[in-house]
Each structure stands twice: as structure tokens, then as C-alpha cells.
């Protein structure tokens, strides 16, 4: 079959269930974004998909280990190795050797704009450059499944555009790409999104589908209409009207992915003792 | 009265001019977004406002006077790393920071009250950010400076943090927010975009975008279109299954696709704030080198 992914995945750390019932498929040549805040379970899902943790339950579909490229969160490069050494290390870890390894490394250095930085230590690079190096290390062996844990967190928009270009190039070459982000802006670029909250799936589909399936309506107003179902949107307020009626003093707003994610979080069943956000 | 008034500020570190002739104002009740790639000079500018650095030339005035201990007492600052004591509880952090300003500890609401006895190190990032906000706001500052205030937070959590920001503004505080995310920038009253130490654009998001356009490419096989454009030196961004080529000529894009035999619909569409920002950052510095290693100076 053509896709990779997880089905009814559960990941447990000690007594804590970090992921509970997450399913999605990512096709070759597409980008899927996992969206959620710190602690939503994104990293755990990605680790299970990449084979770095053993699931407590459910299934994982992935290619052989040497066909997976994995970029851990937090500028995952060796700071005391040079850029060239980081790439060489990655090549040998994935079994890419000789002229092929050199050719791939040169190509990635060019594409990441790091061609003049080969001799610099990982620790001496700027944050954006470290992210690009970490991505290059995950791409070196032309993986079929590319798993990226917050590849752009803390990165400025200029470097982010460059990182996304590399990610898109990998997808264009046929890789299935799964990446985690806490920003909906970024998820909007993906072909499909999976929104996680407290380890559980909140929403899944293409950004357009997720918005279209949002229950009720979202309205815009100058003042707060409700203590729970209203939230800030710039200087204005947005409110979710679950039953679809537009309250007095408000106008119906065209919802976007950010609205749909907020509505899903508001509609999420609370656990016992949990305080509403 | 203007809370922050910067005129022609310049800050040089040896050979490097990190801030180069910047004008910036923040008035009471307004939320101003500060945008810039790494190395654009944002952090240096914030340090000038905090009074941690002195300008090489030009003037920085806070509440009508040069930055000092006195102005510091009227300022709330939330750094990117939050500046909390991880080995103190929520309540202790708030009491300690409020004590430094001679204020009563910050108000705890909902989830924060429930976590008041917990060590900050053990809290999820979203709650830690709320503690940092409460600590910065306890002395009712006239000016709030926030450095990437919501990174790592989910959308609802981010909207809740923005409630706090707008509440402070509604109470008369001026707010200066730096961010790398345009959905957040779009929440501000006004934006100031820096590149290579200079202000390259200022105004509302719509004003900054102006009539900038992007070429949108819809192809049956986006992969083929992407590869063709890449080879033609027209870097495209993937959005869903469409491609966007910022600041390009639709005819040139069409020609590159034709030459590669790729069938696609090509049209000019309005640029996004992010696309405009990236183009501005490229113009301000050397293209593709907007984020060189200038760590420590900017």
C-alpha cells in the first residue's frame, strides 16, 4: 500500500498515557502536519512513527528503518562536530557511502545555503542554520518517510521559507512527510492536518475539510460575548455559537483553520478535574 | 504622552551596526508588533528600550526620559526564555518578582490558581507562559515588552495569552511584541518590520502588504511544477497542493512551466504578510543571507 501512518496508536511513559487513540495516513509525495501545543503528544506520535519508541497499542506503518529520516526537536545537530562531519556522520549512520554520500552532502549544502559553512562547528551556527543542518542530516539518504519534530520552532520567517522549500522538495521527490508544529499558519501549508490535544485526536483532514466540518458558526464582535466560548482575534473578539445562531451585536465571520482548531478545543470533552482553558 | 520614543537610534558593536537609524514610537493603549529575521536588530532594539544598552547615536526615551532604574519600574518584560525561577513554585515566583517592584503579587486565575503550589519547572509550557505574564504585569507596568510571547502554545492557549495582552492595552499600557509568526503579527494594531538594522516597513498588516503579489500555480502534479520552477531558479512554496512564487512575474513562471512541459494554471494573487516580510527581509540585506551568524550582537 502507498501510505505510512499510525492506527489507534497509544504511547505510554510509565503510568502516563501520552498518546491515546491517534490514527492517520500519510501518502508518499504529501506533507501532513501534526498540530498542538506543548504536551499535546506530537513528539510521542512522531517517535512511535519513526520507530524510536514502542507503542503501548495500535499499529504503525512505516518503511524499513534505513528508509526513514527523523529530525528530533530542538536543533538536533552535534555541536562539537563541523557541518561536514555532521553530514558524514549521518551518511554513515544511514549506510550512504563514498561518492554517493559526497554527492548528496554537496547537494544539500548548496540547497541549504551552508556550502561555505562546511568547516564550522555545529555549535557556532545560528539557530536557523542549525535547523537547516538538522534537516539536511535527515534528508541525506533520500528517505521514503520523513519525520520532522518541530522543524521550524524558533526559526525566523526567512529561514522558515528555506526549510519549507527543502521539505517540499523532499515531498516532490516522493517522500511521505510528517511534521509537528504548534502554529496553525504552518499547518495550512500541509495537504492534511491532524490536530492533537492531551494526546488525543481533535481534528483530521485537509485544512479545507477541517474548516468545512466545524460545528456551529463563528461570529465577530467588538466586545466579549461569553466567558468561555469567546476569544481574542486582534482587537476584536470571536465567539463560537454551537447552535448556529448569530447573537445580537455580532456578525458571522468566515472561519479559518485557526478558528476551527479553537472551536474543537472548546468543544472537547473535559476530563474530571480539568480546568477549562 | 508617548511611552517609547526612539529617534535615529544607532547601535554599533565593533564593525557591526546592529541598529541603524531606527525611529519607533509606542503610545498608551496600542499593541505594536516588531518583526524581523534573526540578525535584523530586533533584540538589540529591545535591549536599548530596556536600558541594557546605550545607543551609539540617536535618542531612546521611555516615558519622556532616558532609560534608567526609574523607567525600569514602569516596564514589564517577558523574555523568550520567560525569566522564571524554575525551582520556585508559581506563588513564590509571583511573590518574588512583585516584591522587587514593591507591588502585590499578580492575580492568579483558573488553571494558575490550581497550580499555585507547583514548581515552575514541572508546569507545561502554556502555564509557564501565563505565570511569566502574571509576573510581568503585577506592578501594572505602563509599557509591556514581549519577546515571542506564545511560542510552544496551542491556538486556544495563544488566544488566552492575547486576552491578557489586550487587557493590559485596554488599561492604558503600551505593548511591544516581537514575533516570528504572522498570525500573531496580524493581531497587532501596527507593525514595524526591521531588516539589516533598519526599519524597512511600518503600518498595519494590510498597509505593509500593499499591492504586493504572489504567483499562484495550480498544477495537476504539483511535484512536476515544483521541480521545474526549482530548476528555473524560481523558488516556490508549497501550500496544500498549490505552489506560490512570491514577488515573481507570472509570465516568467508560465514560461518556465511551459519549457518543462508542465501543464498548470498560473495567476497573480495578493501576497500574504509572511511572503511580503520575506521579500522585505531579502531586500534589506543580502538575499539568502538574512540570517547569517550575528549571534550575540543582534
pLDDT digits (tens, 9 = 90+) for B216-249: 999 999 999 999 999 999 989 999 889 999 999 9
pTM: 0.90
β-strands A192-197, A31-35: how paired? parallel
Strands of the sheet with A3-13, listed across from one edge: A16-27, A3-13, A57-61
Interface of A with B in 80-109 (CB under 8 A): none
pLDDT digits (tens, 9 = 90+) for A134-144: 999 999 999 99
Average pLDDT over residues A81-105: 93
User: Looking at residue B294, what is its pLDDT?
Assistant: 37
Average pLDDT over residues A1-13: 90
pLDDT band at A119 (very low <50, low <70, confident <90, very high): very high
User: Looking at residue A277, what is its pLDDT?
Assistant: 52
Query: B143 φ, ψ to 5°?
Result: -135, 130
**B132 vs B106: which has the higher pLDDT:** B132
What does the mean pLDDT of chain B come to? 90
**Residues on chain A touching B189 (C-beta within 8 angstroms):** 235
pLDDT digits (tens, 9 = 90+) for B193-223: 999 999 999 999 999 999 999 999 999 999 9
pLDDT band at B285 (very low <50, low <70, confident <90, very high): very low
Angle A262-A265-A267 from CA coordinates, rounded to 5°: 110
CA gap A123, A242 in Å, rounded: 50
CA of B274 vs chain A CAs: smallest distance (Å): 7
DSSP bridge pairs for B59: B7
A40 to B159: CB separation less than 8 angstroms, yes or no: no
Pick from A31, A37, A165: CB nearest B153: A37
Residue B292 has pLDDT above 60, yes or no: no
**Residues on chain A touching B227 (C-beta within 8 angstroms):** 169, 172
A123 touches chain B (CB under 8 A): no
> CB under 8 Å to A49, separation ≥6 — which residues?
A4, A5, A6, A60, A62, A145, A147, A178
B291 to A156: CB separation less than 8 angstroms, yes or no: yes
Average pLDDT over residues A76-90: 94
Average pLDDT over residues B139-151: 92
**A1 vs A39: which has the higher pLDDT:** A39
Cα distances (Å, whole numbers) of residue B101 to A3, B93, B97, B141, B165: 58, 13, 7, 10, 20
**Residues on chain B touching A157 (C-beta within 8 angstroms):** 37, 180, 182, 274, 277-278, 281
Amino acid at each position: 500500500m502507498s501510505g505510512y501512518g499510525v492506527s489507534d496508536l497509544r504511547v505510554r511513559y510509565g503510568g502516563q498515557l501520552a498518546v491515546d487513540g491517534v490514527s492517520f495516513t500519510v501518502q508518499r509525495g504529501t506533507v501532513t502536519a501534526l498540530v498542538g501545543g506543548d504536551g499535546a503528544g506530537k513528539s510521542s506520535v512522531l517517535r512511535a512513527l519513526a520507530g524510536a519508541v514502542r507503542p503501548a497499542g495500535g499499529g504503525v506503518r512505516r518503511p524499513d528503518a534505513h528508509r526513514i529520516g527523523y529530525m528530533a526537536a530542538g536543533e538536533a545537530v552535534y555541536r562539537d562536530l563541523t557541518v561536514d562531519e555532521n553530514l558524514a556522520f549521518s551518511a554513515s549512520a544511514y549506510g550512504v557511502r563514498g561518492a554517493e554520500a559526497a554527492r548528496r552532502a554537496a547537494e544539500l549544502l548548496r540547497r541549504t545555503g551552508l556550502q561555505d559553512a562546511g568547516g564550522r562547528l555545529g555549535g557556532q551556527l545560528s539557530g536557523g542554520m542549525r535547523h537547516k543542518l538538522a534537516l539536511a542530516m535527515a534528508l541525506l539518504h533520500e528517505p521514503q518517510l520523513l519525520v520532522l519534530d518541530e522543524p521550524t520552532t524558533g526559526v525566523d520567517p526567512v529561514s522558515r521559507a528555506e526549510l519549507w522549500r527543502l521539505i517540499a522538495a523532499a515531498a516532490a521527490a516522493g517522500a511521505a512527510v510528517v511534521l509537528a508544529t504548534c502554529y496553525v499558519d504552518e499547518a495550512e501549508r500541509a495537504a492534511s492536518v491532524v490536530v492533537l490535544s492531551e494526546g488525543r485526536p481533535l481534528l483530521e483532514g485537509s485544512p479545507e475539510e477541517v474548516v468545512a466540518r466545524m460545528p456551529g458558526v463563528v461570529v465577530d464582535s467588538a466586545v466579549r460575548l461569553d466567558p468561555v466560548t469567546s476569544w481574542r482575534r486582534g482587537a476584536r473578539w470571536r465567539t463560537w455559537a454551537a447552535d448556529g445562531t448569530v447573537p445580537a451585536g455580532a456578525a458571522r465571520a468566515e472561519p479559518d483553520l485557526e478558528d476551527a482548531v479553537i472551536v474543537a478545543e472548546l468543544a472537547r470533552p473535559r476530563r474530571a478535574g480539568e480546568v477549562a482553558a | 504622552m508617548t511611552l517609547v520614543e526612539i529617534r535615529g537610534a544607532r547601535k554599533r558593536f565593533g564593525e557591526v551596526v546592529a541598529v541603524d537609524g531606527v525611529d519607533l514610537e509606542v503610545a498608551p493603549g496600542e499593541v505594536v508588533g516588531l518583526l524581523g529575521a534573526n540578525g535584523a536588530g530586533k533584540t538589540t532594539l529591545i535591549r536599548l528600550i530596556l536600558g541594557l544598552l546605550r545607543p551609539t547615536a540617536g535618542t531612546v526615551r521611555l516615558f519622556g526620559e532616558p532609560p534608567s532604574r526609574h523607567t525600569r519600574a514602569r516596564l514589564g518584560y517577558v523574555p523568550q526564555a520567560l525569566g522564571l525561577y524554575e525551582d520556585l513554585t508559581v506563588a513564590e515566583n509571583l511573590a518574588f518578582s512583585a516584591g522587587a517592584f514593591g507591588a502585590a503579587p499578580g492575580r492568579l486565575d483558573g488553571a494558575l490558581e490550581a497550580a499555585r503550589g507547583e514548581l515552575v519547572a514541572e508546569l507545561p509550557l502554556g502555564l509557564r507562559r501565563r505565570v511569566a505574564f502574571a509576573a510581568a504585569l503585577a506592578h501594572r507596568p505602563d509599557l509591556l515588552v514581549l519577546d515571542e510571547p506564545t511560542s510552544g502554545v496551542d491556538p486556544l492557549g495563544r488566544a488566552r495569552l492575547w486576552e491578557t495582552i489586550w487587557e493590559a492595552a485596554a488599561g492604558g499600557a503600551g505593548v511591544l511584541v516581537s514575533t516570528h509568526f504572522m498570525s500573531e503579527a496580524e493581531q497587532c494594531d501596527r507593525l514595524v518590520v526591521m531588516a539589516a538594522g533598519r526599519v524597512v516597513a511600518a503600518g498595519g498588516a494590510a498597509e505593509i502588504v500593499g499591492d504586493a503579489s504572489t504567483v499562484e500555480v495550480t498544477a495537476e502534479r504539483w511535484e512536476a511544477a515544483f521541480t521545474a520552477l526549482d530548476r528555473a531558479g524560481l523558488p516556490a512554496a508549497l501550500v496544500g497542493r498549490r505552489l506560490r512564487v512570491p514577488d515573481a512575474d507570472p509570465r516568467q513562471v508560465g514560461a518556465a512551466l511551459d519549457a518543462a512541459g508542465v501543464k498548470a494554471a498560473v495567476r497573480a494573487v495578493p501576497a500574504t504578510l509572511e511572503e511580503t516580510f520575506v521579500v522585505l527581509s531579502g531586500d534589506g540585506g543580502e538575499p539568502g543571507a538574512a540570517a547569517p551568524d550575528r549571534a550575540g550582537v543582534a
